[in-house]
Chains A and B, each alone.
Chain A
């Protein structure tokens, strides 16, 4: 991988820039491109309009692009790479307008700086999540490339004493079209830095794209096949010690006593660190640290949640769902429509807590000194990581340097900074740098979990069986209320409701309510596909129930409700056609459909499942159709849908975190199963060509596959699953 040594990145001059991080509303007008193509002209957002104070030998027109005298182009990545391909798609956006080849580009992780690198779709927080990197960058980062290009052209034109409009840029060079004179970007850096930053820049129209829309090779991959890629867990600052820890097995519990005599005798163990609610063993290597941890005798004070049980939590949710909640959406008059309905359908659903189980276990390396603190971590929330280390260490923010790294699986887990807090607490007591690595057991038992939910539905059908009333109330945790409180208002937040409201279906009377109830002691967090991971499962399962009640085909039934959503109808049709919907299947095999509008993308899956006599379920094949607007990298879109399907099938078939006596019962991959090669469905992805604005793709496939699997099980067995994960024992019983 082409990363500059992170070295002093967190403390460099860019931190002092004073630009406004939230892109101003941009104004666009159409204009004619130099080459005759159609372009759109945009006012440059404020955060791109201040050229950086660069050294004499480089050109740094904004916080994202730096061109050196040797012509090398370095791009600073505002979003972190965790497998989703952002270190390829974001450079594609910049390179498209900068007119450089991706091969010329080096990447570096952005330092913590919300003003420069805040996510415009997450209220300016510097975070990677909600499948919105391309959505948030689509315009500003093309502008970043275009502004740099226009300054380079201006510098060349001045040198040649010609009109800039008579020049063009290609392959890292400026060309004077009439005379065919050429100059490389590297030779222009000094002059370009003197050019004024343009107020407006013209962006290419879709017809002129050279890179966007192509299956460009990923930039992060070569180092990931030869062991050279550096994840957070791989850092080795000189003198680093390795620590592992035991946290209170009950959330909120405390350490009562520790007998560390045996642990201290373990060869390679250097120190035992005691915290209020955890104990860590610091050693020369992880083998010694784990052995030392096993040799500790820790007595815990379990505290208030000592008897916590999942059944109790679910009961509380069920009770809460009986009470009125905040109205998330109301269309028409559901009560009146229900009273006039020919038939009524009711159902309740329940979904479990889920762990993230990223392949790279939680880890963070910290070196606390009197005058400063250094942190090495792979994080989805860079600025928060810095703030957490500052708060724990008591050091001012500008004394905390954070190095971000490749992430071995995020899925929302690394939007949280509990690992940084833990590591800093431990490092406060250790002389020199310490890498705190969680065992898999700690990782699963001290995750912050996808919340469980309880849902209540009722619908009224007319004489044709079509829904005239749709009533949905659900109870569960709001992650947003904790993670970004300003987004939680009047009992609602945009994440908990996504997928439950603004349905693509033409429903005349809709009423949706949310009851916020937080499980006692259990930390909840975002998990791949966030709100829709819950809502799309229940909405698409219930829609399937309505089709069954109306004795109609599930595809035809949905299709009849999509007259006002042509993009949704198109993906439904495409998925059904490619899957061979309606073709005969052997006994015990069924197809199920789902559809979804979430993360700005339309998606439909058809799952084909086989249910054995013992109730075990195998997902054989998944056919997906996606309309995510303009596609930046079609290969990444396919890869992300395939990935998201496996993630969702894992959850549908196996995913469940349960508590007994306040303790998480699952420990490792034997009790928290992940789909394996022999169980993996074949996933076919079909992309709808579109020139709409880009939608998100990293998470969309996960939420939509869960109902497709459940609906396919219904088709195969006649049994409706209203609870996840799949209950093989129930499926083995006669219908």
Chain B
């Protein structure tokens, strides 16, 4: 069945079953591979996108549920103020290692910053604990979110 969805401001029509997860529409049908597959069950956050600004696990979000919602992916999150700040902080603090989970981390962190401009540790834990990083970049993610919020001050103190 044909569905028209709005991704990063652009309308796309795709012909897939109604229960097809948004993740595969993005990656395999539309060729937008920045959004990653990690678990398929909303356990790791690698596939996080924004639906009307809210962080959403695209691997368990059927295409039929999207309707008119605006889908934002890692490819365009830099067009938002929060996304831009988060991406810059990720580079400034050299957060990334293998990088595979970082699309999802950045999408979760951008959504957090957009809704809470000065998140404390507890807000960061709440917003980010659904995103697994196997390289263990958590200290720097925490620090980078604070850096992006303009309140540097870190968990990951280093000698």
Please list the residues of chain A having a beta carbon within 8 angstroms of any beta carbon in chain B.
Answer: 81-85, 215, 217-218, 220-222, 224-231, 233-234, 236, 242, 266-268, 284-288, 290-291, 357-361, 406-411, 437, 439-440, 578, 635, 638-639, 642-647, 650, 668-670, 674-680, 682-687
Could you tell me the distance between the alpha carbons of A229 and B34 in the complex, rounded to whole angstroms? 7
6 contacts between A and B (CB under 8 A): A221-B96, A224-B96, A226-B78, A233-B33, A669-B41, A674-B132
Q: Nearest residue in B to A267 (C-beta to C-beta)?
A: B17
Could you tell me the distance between the alpha carbons of A408 and B159 in the complex, rounded to whole angstroms? 28
Q: Which of B29, B73, B106 contacts A225 (CB 8 A)?
A: B106
For window 77-136 of B, CB contacts with A under 8 Å fall at: 78, 87, 90-91, 94, 96-103, 106, 124-126, 128-136
Q: Nearest Cβ in chain B — how far from A353, in angstroms?
A: 17
Other A-B pairs beyond A286-B23, A642-B136, A669-B44, 6, CB < 8 Å: A81-B98, A221-B90, A233-B36, A359-B100, A643-B136, A674-B134
- Cβ contacts under 8 Å, A291 to chain B: 17, 19
Whether B158 and A685, one on each chain, are in contact in the complex, defined by CB atoms closer than 8 angstroms, is yes
Closest 4 CB pairs of A and B: A227-B34, A646-B136, A408-B100, A83-B98
Whether A639 and B103, one on each chain, are in contact in the complex, defined by CB atoms closer than 8 angstroms, is no
Could you tell me the distance between the alpha carbons of A286 and B130 in the complex, rounded to whole angstroms? 23
Whether B134 and A358, one on each chain, are in contact in the complex, defined by CB atoms closer than 8 angstroms, is yes
- Cβ contacts under 8 Å, A226 to chain B: 34, 74-75, 78, 87
Q: Nearest residue in A to B98 (C-beta to C-beta)?
A: A83
Q: A83-B97, A285-B24, A285-B25 are in contact. Are A642 and B139 (CB under 8 A)?
A: yes
Could you tell me the distance between the alpha carbons of A221 and B33 in the complex, rounded to whole angstroms? 17
- Cβ contacts under 8 Å, B147 to chain A: none
Interface centre among A226, A268, A437, A674 (most CB of B within 10 A): A226
Q: Nearest residue in A to B62 (C-beta to C-beta)?
A: A287
Whether A643 and B137, one on each chain, are in contact in the complex, defined by CB atoms closer than 8 angstroms, is yes
- Cβ contacts under 8 Å, B90 to chain A: 221, 225
Q: Nearest Cβ in chain B — how far from A230, in angstroms?
A: 7
Q: Which of B24, B28, B103, B129 contacts A677 (CB 8 A)?
A: B129
Whether B159 and A578, one on each chain, are in contact in the complex, defined by CB atoms closer than 8 angstroms, is yes
Could you tell me the distance between the alpha carbons of A639 and B133 in the complex, rounded to whole angstroms? 13
- Cβ contacts under 8 Å, A406 to chain B: 98-99
- Cβ contacts under 8 Å, A674 to chain B: 44, 132, 134
Whether A646 and B138, one on each chain, are in contact in the complex, defined by CB atoms closer than 8 angstroms, is yes
Interface centre among A409, A647, A686, A687 (most CB of B within 10 A): A409
Interface centre among B32, B39, B106, B130 (most CB of A within 10 A): B39
Q: Nearest Cβ in chain A — how far from B44, in angstroms?
A: 5
Could you tell me the distance between the alpha carbons of A687 and B132 in the complex, rounded to whole angstroms? 27
Whether A361 and B32, one on each chain, are in contact in the complex, defined by CB atoms closer than 8 angstroms, is no
Whether A683 and B91, one on each chain, are in contact in the complex, defined by CB atoms closer than 8 angstroms, is no
Does B16 count as interface, using CB distance less than 8 angstroms?
yes
Q: Which of A215, A222, A234 contacts B91 (CB 8 A)?
A: A222
Whether B91 and A221, one on each chain, are in contact in the complex, defined by CB atoms closer than 8 angstroms, is yes
- Cβ contacts under 8 Å, B35 to chain A: 227
Q: Nearest Cβ in chain B — how far from A234, in angstroms?
A: 4
Does B142 count as interface, using CB distance less than 8 angstroms?
yes
Q: A285-B24, A287-B17, A677-B138 are in contact. Are A360 and B97 (CB under 8 A)?
A: no
Q: A285-B29, A639-B97, A684-B159 are in contact. Are A225 and B87 (CB under 8 A)?
A: yes
Whether A360 and B75, one on each chain, are in contact in the complex, defined by CB atoms closer than 8 angstroms, is no
Whether B21 and A669, one on each chain, are in contact in the complex, defined by CB atoms closer than 8 angstroms, is no
Whether B134 and A85, one on each chain, are in contact in the complex, defined by CB atoms closer than 8 angstroms, is no
Could you tell me the distance between the alpha carbons of A685 and B39 in the complex, rounded to whole angstroms? 31
- Cβ contacts under 8 Å, A642 to chain B: 136-137, 139-140, 156
Could you tell me the distance between the alpha carbons of A646 and B16 in the complex, rounded to whole angstroms? 40
For window 27-53 of B, CB contacts with A under 8 Å fall at: 27-29, 31-41, 43-44, 46
Number of residues on chain B facing chain A (CB within 8 A): 65
Could you tell me the distance between the alpha carbons of A560 and B54 in the complex, rounded to whole angstroms? 57
Q: Which of A285, A286, A669 contacts B39 (CB 8 A)?
A: A669
Q: Nearest Cβ in chain A — how far from B137, in angstroms?
A: 7
- Cβ contacts under 8 Å, A675 to chain B: 136, 138
- Cβ contacts under 8 Å, B94 to chain A: 215, 217-218, 221, 635, 639
Could you tell me the distance between the alpha carbons of A411 and B133 in the complex, rounded to whole angstroms? 13
- Cβ contacts under 8 Å, A408 to chain B: 36, 98-101
Whether A668 and B91, one on each chain, are in contact in the complex, defined by CB atoms closer than 8 angstroms, is no
Whether A669 and B132, one on each chain, are in contact in the complex, defined by CB atoms closer than 8 angstroms, is yes
Whether B29 and A682, one on each chain, are in contact in the complex, defined by CB atoms closer than 8 angstroms, is no
Whether A440 and B97, one on each chain, are in contact in the complex, defined by CB atoms closer than 8 angstroms, is no
Does B20 count as interface, using CB distance less than 8 angstroms?
yes
- Cβ contacts under 8 Å, A682 to chain B: 139, 155-157
Whether B134 and A647, one on each chain, are in contact in the complex, defined by CB atoms closer than 8 angstroms, is yes
Q: Nearest Cβ in chain A — how far from B154, in angstroms?
A: 9
Whether B28 and A225, one on each chain, are in contact in the complex, defined by CB atoms closer than 8 angstroms, is no
- Cβ contacts under 8 Å, B34 to chain A: 226-228
Could you tell me the distance between the alpha carbons of A734 and B64 in the complex, rounded to whole angstroms? 54
- Cβ contacts under 8 Å, B71 to chain A: none
Does B141 count as interface, using CB distance less than 8 angstroms?
yes
Whether A360 and B36, one on each chain, are in contact in the complex, defined by CB atoms closer than 8 angstroms, is yes
Could you tell me the distance between the alpha carbons of A226 and B21 in the complex, rounded to whole angstroms? 22
Could you tell me the distance between the alpha carbons of A645 and B94 in the complex, rounded to whole angstroms? 18
- Cβ contacts under 8 Å, B33 to chain A: 227, 230, 233-234, 236
Whether B36 and A359, one on each chain, are in contact in the complex, defined by CB atoms closer than 8 angstroms, is yes
Could you tell me the distance between the alpha carbons of A11 and B74 in the complex, rounded to whole angstroms? 34
Q: Which of B78, B134, B139, B141 contacts A357 (CB 8 A)?
A: B134
Whether B139 and A683, one on each chain, are in contact in the complex, defined by CB atoms closer than 8 angstroms, is yes
Whether B159 and A686, one on each chain, are in contact in the complex, defined by CB atoms closer than 8 angstroms, is yes
Whether B17 and A440, one on each chain, are in contact in the complex, defined by CB atoms closer than 8 angstroms, is no
Could you tell me the distance between the alpha carbons of A187 and B159 in the complex, rounded to whole angstroms? 44
Q: A285-B16, A286-B24 are in contact. Are A221 and B140 (CB under 8 A)?
A: no
- Cβ contacts under 8 Å, B102 to chain A: 224-225
Whether A677 and B124, one on each chain, are in contact in the complex, defined by CB atoms closer than 8 angstroms, is yes
Q: Nearest Cβ in chain A — how far from B142, in angstroms?
A: 7
Q: Nearest Cβ in chain A — how far from B157, in angstroms?
A: 6
Interface centre among A408, A669, A677 (most CB of B within 10 A): A677
- Cβ contacts under 8 Å, B73 to chain A: 227
Could you tell me the distance between the alpha carbons of A158 and B141 in the complex, rounded to whole angstroms? 52
Q: Nearest residue in A to B75 (C-beta to C-beta)?
A: A227
- Cβ contacts under 8 Å, B98 to chain A: 81-83, 358-360, 406-410
- Cβ contacts under 8 Å, B141 to chain A: 677
- Cβ contacts under 8 Å, A224 to chain B: 96, 99, 102
Could you tell me the distance between the alpha carbons of A644 and B35 in the complex, rounded to whole angstroms? 25
Could you tell me the distance between the alpha carbons of A226 and B73 in the complex, rounded to whole angstroms? 9
Q: Nearest residue in A to B30 (C-beta to C-beta)?
A: A285
Q: A288-B17, A682-B139 are in contact. Are A225 and B44 (CB under 8 A)?
A: no
Whether B139 and A680, one on each chain, are in contact in the complex, defined by CB atoms closer than 8 angstroms, is yes
Could you tell me the distance between the alpha carbons of A242 and B128 in the complex, rounded to whole angstroms? 31
Could you tell me the distance between the alpha carbons of A440 and B97 in the complex, rounded to whole angstroms? 21
Q: Nearest Cβ in chain B — how far from A639, in angstroms?
A: 6
- Cβ contacts under 8 Å, A231 to chain B: 100
Whether A440 and B36, one on each chain, are in contact in the complex, defined by CB atoms closer than 8 angstroms, is no
Could you tell me the distance between the alpha carbons of A390 and B44 in the complex, rounded to whole angstroms? 35
- Cβ contacts under 8 Å, A645 to chain B: 136
Could you tell me the distance between the alpha carbons of A29 and B24 in the complex, rounded to whole angstroms? 60
Q: Nearest residue in A to B24 (C-beta to C-beta)?
A: A287
